[in-house]
Structure 1
């Protein structure tokens, strides 16, 4: 199956955050998340495993009790049910991969 980014609408989540759900099946999902400078990804957790790849920008990420600054090319792993969130320091895009897929997103 081919997914063409230009054909996927950008969903405005409010407060400087938007996303595109790129592709998914029952077992995996890939999502682009766009952040404006200063936007917050509120602390949360979920039962899914998540890997985030920083496509662009700079972010201050907290995963569990640890906080670090990440930028383009960096990757983060989030275990299921671990609290995590971020603050965007320089506008950018994150590529999130979830397993299983996030049914709450569709």
Structure 2
């Protein structure tokens, strides 16, 4: 399979969180454009997740520890760990999930 990011339709997964999503048999990748002030409520999932902040400032809470992450920062989130976030500025984030994030298909 070959894709081009410009040809992938963006989905608003939650208010202010717009993602272009690609799925394979064992993983998902999400290219997010996040509006300033958009919140990701606390949640957990079975997926291992790696988050990369490409642009902007994103306040992220993992296991009750809150930090502000900026361009170049990467966070590894183990399965079942509670996490949440809020965009302090407009952000571009890249998330990789394994296994596939079925609810995002």
| RMSD of aligned Cα (Å) | 1.1
Shift of 1:14: 4.3
Q: Structure 1 residue 27 and structure 2 residue 26: aligned?
A: yes
**Number of residue pairs matched by the alignment:** 105
Calculate the TM-score normalised by the size of structure 1: 0.93
2:66 alignment partner in structure 1: 67
Change (3 A) 1:83 1:14: closer
Change (3 A) 1:13 1:25: closer
Calculate the TM-score normalised by the size of structure 2: 0.94
2:18 alignment partner in structure 1: 18
Give the structure with the larger strand fraction.
Answer: 1
Gaps of at least 5 residues in structure 2 are none
For residues 37-86 of structure 1, what are the alpha-carbon distances to aligned partners after superposition, in whole Å with 9 as ceiling and x for unaligned?
11101111000100001111101100112110001110011110010010
